[in-house]
Structure 1
Amino acid sequence: MSTRPTDPRRVHHPPAGGLGDAGLLGRRPRAVVVGGGIAGLAAATGLAERGVTVEVLERESYLGGRVGGWRDRLPDGTPVSMGRGFHAFFRQYYNLRNLLRRGDPGLDRLVPLEDYPLVDAEGRVDSFRSLPRTPPWNAVLFALRSPTFRPSDLLRLDPRAAAPLANVSVPGIYEALDHVDAASFVESVNFPPAARHLAFEVFSRSFFAPPSAMSAAELATMFHLYFLGSSEGLVFDVPDDGFDVALWEPLRHYLTTRGVTFRTGVTVSSVSRVSSATRGSPATGDVHGGWFHVDHSDGGTSGVDAVVLAPDVAGLREIVAASPGLGDAGWRADVAALGSAPPFLVQRLWLDRPVRADRPPFLGTGGLDPLDNISVLDRYEQDAAAWAARHGGSVVELHAYSAVLPPDEVRSRCLARLHKIYPETAGARTVGELVEWRADCPMFGVGDFARRPTVASPVDGLVLAGDGIRIDLPVALMERAAATGWQAANRLLAGWGLAGHPLETVPTGGRLGPLTRAAAHVMRQR
C-alpha cells in the first residue's frame, strides 16, 4: 500500500521562516497544550520539534480525544480494546497523516478498506469499489452506478443550484451557502430522494448532526474534499489495532523523547495572564512568573509563555467563561456561542458466533434510524481478531449519530437493526457489551461560520485548535483538527521567530476548468 500522497494538484502551504531551534533564542519558551486530542497533539508536535518546552494536559486517562482508545474488561474479566467509535482515515487527510508519521513513519499501522458499501431501508446498496480517482468521473460513475440514481436523473439536476459544488473555495463557499441547511440545498439540486438518503445523508451525518440542522457550506466542502477536489480516491484506511496501541502510544513515545510531558486525568478550569508589572520578555531574558498561569486539578502550571486551548467545544466554553481576563467581549461571546451536536452512541458487542464471511468490515446505513453504521472489528483490528479467534465469535460495533431518543432506547433499536440487517447475529449470545454515550462534537449549524473563533485569539500567546475552530482551508473532521493544531503551533513559533511547519490540502478552489468557470459565473448571478 502506498502511504504517500498521489494527487499532483494538492496544495502546499509553506510556513513562515525562522530559526530551527528555540535553543538559539537564549531561553526556550514554555507552552501548555490543553487537550490531548488530534489538535492538541499536532500543536504539541509542531512546538516540540522546534525545541519549545511543552506540557500537555488531558482530562481523560488516554490520548486521542474523540479518536481515543483504552483498555476495558468484559463481564468475565477478559481485557479488551475499547474506543470512541469507528473513524475513516482518508488518503487526503494530509496533515493528520503527517502527524501520525511521527510515530509510524511508514504508516504501517493503517490498513486499507477497499470498499464501504451503503445500504438503505429498501435494501439498495451503493459501493465505492473500483471507482476512478479522477474528478469528476469518480462522482459521475458513483451516481450512475447507484441503484438510486438513473441516467435520466442527471438531466433533471438543477445546474444553477448545484453550481457551488463545482466551485468550492474557502471561505467563499461559506459566504454563498452557510445560510442554507444541507437538506434544503440537496433538495434544491433535485437529487432523487432515495439518493439523498443513501449518499448525502450518510456523509452529512458523519458531522454528528441531522442534515436539516447542518450548514450546506459544510456539506459542499465535504463534497469537494472527498469527490471533486481530490484525486486521492474514495477508499480509506483504518488502524490495525486499538487507537491507543496503533496511533497514540507511538506518537506519545516520539514526543516524550523530545521533552514533551503529559498529564492525563487532569481537568483545566481557567487560564489567567500575569500582569505586565511582573512578566518579562516572553521569549528571551528573565521571566518572573511567565505570561500565563493555567489552573487545573493538579494544582496549576505557572511561568508559561503560551497556551494552546484544544479541548472539546464544551471544555473551551467552560475554560473561557471561567477566565474573565482573556480576550475582549466579542471574542468571548463567539466562544460562548459555539454549539455542540446532539449526542451519539457507540455500542460494541462481543458475540459468541461469527458474522457471515461476506459481510464488509464497514457498512453505512441510510434511512435506518437510529443506526448509522456497522463495523466488524475483527476483520481489521488485532485485539478484536484475537478475541474472535479464541471464542469462535465476532466483535461488532454500532453507531448512532445525532440521537434524539434516550440512550437505552437507542441501544435497543440499534441492536434490532443489526439483527435485521445481519440476521445471523439475532441468535448470537452477547458475551460482552460496552456502550459509550457522548455529546462532545462541534455543531456546524446554519449561519455559524462567520462568528466561529479562529486559531488566533485577541490575546498574544493564546491560540485555539480543534475541529470546531475556523480555518480557511478545505478541511473537515479529523483533518480540520490536525490542520488547526499545526496552524496553532505555527502562529506561536512565528511570534518567537522560529520556523513553522508546512500544511497540505486538496486544491483550494474548483479544479475542473471550464466547469469551475461556469459555476463561478452562475454563483455570481445568484
Structure 2
Amino acid sequence: MNARGTRSGRAPRRGRDRRARVLPAPPGAARCGTPAPRAAVIGGGIAGLAAATALAERGADVTLYERQETLGGRLAGWSTELADGSSATMSRGFHAFFRQYYNLRGLLRRAQPGLGMLTALPDYPLRHSSGLHDSFKRVPRTPPWSALGFVALSPAFGWRDLARMNPKAALPLLDVRVPQVYDRLDTISAADFLARIRFPAAARHLAFEVFSRSFFADPRELSAAELVLMFHIYFLGSSEGLLFDVPGEPYPQALWEPLGRYLEGHGADLRTGTEVDGAASSPDGGATVTARGRTERYDALVLALDSGGLRRLAAASPHLVDAPWRARAARLRTAPPFLVSRLWLDTPVAPDRPGFLGTSGYGPLDNISVLERWEGEAARWSARTGGSVVELHAYAYASDDRAAAQDRLLEQLHRVYPETRRAKAVDARHEWREDCPLFPVGGFPDRPTVRTSHPAVTVAGDLVRTDLPVALMERAATTGFLAANALLEQWGVRGHTLWTVPERGRSALLRSLARLGEH
C-alpha cells in the first residue's frame, strides 16, 4: 500500500485514560481544492513535521525548510565513526515518550501504525547521593491513588511530611487549568512555589527537580506555572502514569526517516540543509520565504522554530507579521547550555543497572542511560565488543572550562556506578547545546500563540503558549497540528482531531477546594 493509501489523518488514540479530552477536528471539505494551496513550514523538528504532515494529508502543496541535513530538530541524529572503526549514531540525548503524548504518538503512527519502533522501559528510577532511592514502577496510575501511592511508597515523602505541608498554598495542584494556572503562578519560580507549600526537601530534590530539569532550567528560574502544569499532566491529572517508552533504534532510523518517506509519499518537498534567510508578508495575503538567495511565494507559512531561530527570523523579517509580535519574539529567552556525554566503554556496567536513571545530588549529573538496555544499535555494539554504551546528561550547566566539566560528569558516573572506574572509553562524544526554550518567571505573556495577526502565518513549537494541558515534545506536536488546523479552517478544509489529558483536576471535591483557595 502506498503512502496515500495508508491511514492518513486518523485521530490519535486516547490511551488508557477514559477521561482524556478529545478536541474534534474543525469541519470542512475532505481535501484542498485545485490548485492546491502552497504552504511553507520552516523547521523540521517535531512541530514542523506535525504541521507538514497535517497539511500534506489534506492535499496542500507543502515545502518544509530545515537548516540541518536531517529531520528531527532537537531529536535529530547523525552518523559518526568510532575509534574502533564501527559506525554509530550520535544524538543530543535521551528523551522519554510518555503515554500521555497522544498527539506525538499519533504523528508517529502515520509512518508506523503499531508504534513498533517504541519499547517500554520497566521503571523510572531515581537516586539521590544521600542514598535515597525512588521509583514509579509500583505507583498506581490513576489519581488520586497515584499521589497516595507515591506518599506510601516513597522513602523521600512520608505521611508526616504530608501533614507538615501548607495545604492552602498547595491547592493549585488540585485543579490545574490552562491558561488560569499562568495567571496564578507565572510570577513565582518553581523553587519558591515548592518552598511555599513546604514540599519535603528530600522529595523536592529526588522527584520535582527531576521534572523541572526536563525544561533544561534551574528551578529558581523556571515559572512555577510550568512545573504545576507538568505535575497535572504526569501525576494528578492523568491516569497514564509516569512510565514511558523509548525508540528501539536511534532517532533517525526509528522515527524521522520513516516519517520523511511518509511525507514525501504525500507530495511534500523536504528541503533539508536549507536555512531560511527571511520571510515577509506578500501584498496578496500570502507570504514569501527567501532561502539560498531564492524567494518563493506561498499561501501560508508555519514558523516551527526554537526560541533562537524565531528571534533570528523575526529580526531578519521586518515585514513579517506586525511590530509588537516581532518585539515579543525578540524577548524570548533560551535555557542555559546543557551537556550530553556518550561513552563507549570497553567493559559492561553491572547487569542490574537500569536503562535510565534520574539522579540528584551528584553535582551536575542529572541522569544516566545505558543504551544497550533498549537501543538496538548500542546493543549490537555491546554484544560485539563486550562493553557498554553509557550516556550522561547535565542540564542548565554553564561552564567556561568545558573539558573540566566533561571530566566532572565522568567522576559522577564513577560515584553512581563504581564498576565504571575500571572501564576505558573506546571512544566518547560530548555535545554542548544551548537552544532549548526557557520559561522564565513572568515570561508567559511574551510567548507566541499559534495564530498571529497575519492570518496566513502560524507558529508551532514547544515554546508556544496554548490553552491546552501539554508540555515538552507533546506541546511541539500539538501546536504543529493546531497551526495546520488554523490554516485548513481558512481554506474550508477539515482539520485533525486531537487529544489531551483532562483539562482540569479529576475530583469535583478537590476542584472546589482549589477554587476556595483562590479567594
Q: Normalised by the size of structure 1, how large is the TM-score? A: 0.95
Query: Which residue of the partner structure matches residue 16 of structure 1?
Result: 26
Distance 1:321 1:4 in 2: 40
CA deviation digits over 1:336-356, x for unaligned, max 9?
A: 111100010111110001100
Does the aligned pair in 2 maintain the 1:160–1:522 contact within 8 Å? yes
Task: Name the structure 1 match of 2:479.
Answer: 484
Q: SS where residue 230 of structure 1 aligns?
A: coil
Q: What does residue 86 of structure 2 align with?
A: 78
Amino acid paired to 1:20: A
1:174-185 superposed matches below 5 A = 174-185=182-193
Q: What are the residue-to-residue correspondences of 1:309-348 with 2, within 5 Å?
A: 309-348=303-342
Q: Secondary structure at the match of 1:211?
A: coil
Distance 1:152 1:351 in 2: 44
| TM-fit CA distance, 1:272 | 1.7
Residue 221 of structure 1: aligned partner: 229
SS of the residue corresponding to residue 114 of structure 1 reads coil
- Residue 8 of structure 2 is matched in structure 1 by none
* DSSP 3-state at the match of 1:210: coil
> 1:5-404 counterparts in 2 under 5 A?
5-22=15-32, 25-275=33-283, 279=284, 291-297=286-292, 299-404=293-398
* Partner Cα separation in structure 1 for residue 264 and residue 323 of structure 2: 38
Question: Does the CA-based 8 Å contact 1:41-1:485 persist in structure 2?
Answer: yes
1:285 is matched with which residue?
none
Displacement of 1:359 after TM fit? 0.3
Shift of 1:233: 1.5
**How large is the RMSD of aligned CA atoms in angstroms?**
1.1
Amino acid at match of 1:380: W
The alpha carbon displacement at 1:409 in A equals: 2.5
Q: Could you tell which deviates more after superposition, 264-273 or 46-55?
A: 264-273
Distance 2:72 2:319 in 1: 29
Q: Are the counterparts in 1 of residues 321 and 457 from structure 2 also a CA contact under 8 Å? A: no
Q: Which amino acid aligns with 1:337?
A: R
- Please say if residues 70 and 242 of structure 1, whose CA atoms lie closer than 8 Å, have aligned partners that are also in contact: no
Instruction: Give the SS at the match of 1:293.
Output: strand
Q: Distance in 2 between matches of 1:203 and 1:65?
A: 22
Query: Which of 451, 465, 468 does residue 470 from structure 1 map onto?
Result: 465
C-alpha separation in 2, matches of 1:516 and 1:408:
50
Instruction: After TM superposition, give the deviation of residue 292 of structure 1 in Å.
Output: 2.2
State how far apart, in whole Å, the 1-side matches of 2:152 and 2:138 are. 14
CA offsets 1:296-353 (integer angstroms, 9 cap, x no match) = 13x3341211111111110111011111111222111111111100010111110001
Contact 2:14 2:499 in 1 (8 A): no
Work out whether 1:432 is the aligned partner of 2:427.
yes
The CA distance in 1 between the partners of 2:405 and 2:368, in whole Å, is 14
Q: Secondary structure at the match of 2:503?
A: coil
Q: How much does 1:245 deviate? A: 0.5
Distance 1:148 1:274 in 2: 58
- How much does 1:193 deviate? 1.1
1:405 counterpart = 2:436: no
Deviations 1:473-524 (A, max 9, x none): 000000000010000000010111111001110011111121121111112x
> Cα deviation per residue 1:46-93 (whole Å; 9 max; x = unaligned)?
000000010111111111111112211112332101111000000010
Asked whether the equivalents of residues 116 and 362 of structure 1 are also in contact (C-alpha less than 8 Å), the reply is: yes
Shift of 1:4: 6.0
* Alpha-carbon shift at residue 144 of structure 1 (Å): 2.6
The correspondence of residues 473-512 of structure 1 with structure 2, limited to 5 A, is: 473-512=468-507
Q: How many angstroms apart in 2 are the aligned matches of 1:225 and 1:409?
A: 37
Q: CA deviation at 1:367?
A: 2.0
- Aligned-residue offset at 1:165: 0.4
CA contact 1:273–1:293 (8 Å) conserved in 2: yes
Contact 1:31 1:55 (C-alpha < 8 Å) held by counterparts: yes
1:432, distance to aligned residue in structure 2 (A): 0.9
Q: Deviations over 1:258-295 (max 9, x none)?
A: 001111111111002233xxx4xx6xxxxxxxx32211
Q: Percent same amino acid at aligned positions?
A: 55
Q: CA deviation at 1:141?
A: 1.3
- Counterpart residue identity of residue 197, structure 2: V
Summarize deviations over 1:337-389 as a string: whole Å, max 9, x none.
Answer: 11100010111110001100000000001122211000000000000000000
Please, what TM-score do these two structures have when normalized by structure 2? 0.96
Aligned to 2:7: none
Q: Distance in 2 between matches of 1:314 and 1:152?
A: 45
Distance 1:47 1:108 in 2: 25
Partner of 2:296: helix, strand, or coil? strand
Aligned amino acid, residue 304 of structure 1:
Y
Whole-Å Cα distance in 2 between the matches of residues 300 and 13 of structure 1? 39
Partners in 2 of 1:491 and 1:443 — Cα distance? 26
- Measured in 2, the distance between the counterparts of 1:409 and 1:120 equals 23
Asked if the contact 2:136–2:242 (Cα under 8 Å) also holds between the matched residues in 1, the reply is yes
Q: 1:520 aligns with which of 510, 515, 518?
A: 515
- The AA in structure 1 aligned to 2:41 is V
Per the alignment, residue 287 of structure 1 pairs with none
Aligned length: 506
| Aligned-partner Cα distance in 2 for 1:237–1:503 | 20
- CA distance in structure 2 between the partners assigned to 1:142 and 1:344 by the alignment: 30
Deviations 1:87-118 (CA, angstroms, capped at 9, x unpaired): 00000100100000001100011111121211
User: CA offset at residue 390 of structure 1?
Assistant: 0.4
Unaligned runs of 5+ in 2: 1-12
Q: Which stretch of the first structure deviates more once superposed, 127-136 or 356-365?
A: 127-136
**Native 8 Å contact 1:293 1:300 kept in 2:** no
432, 442, 453: which one aligns with 1:447: 442
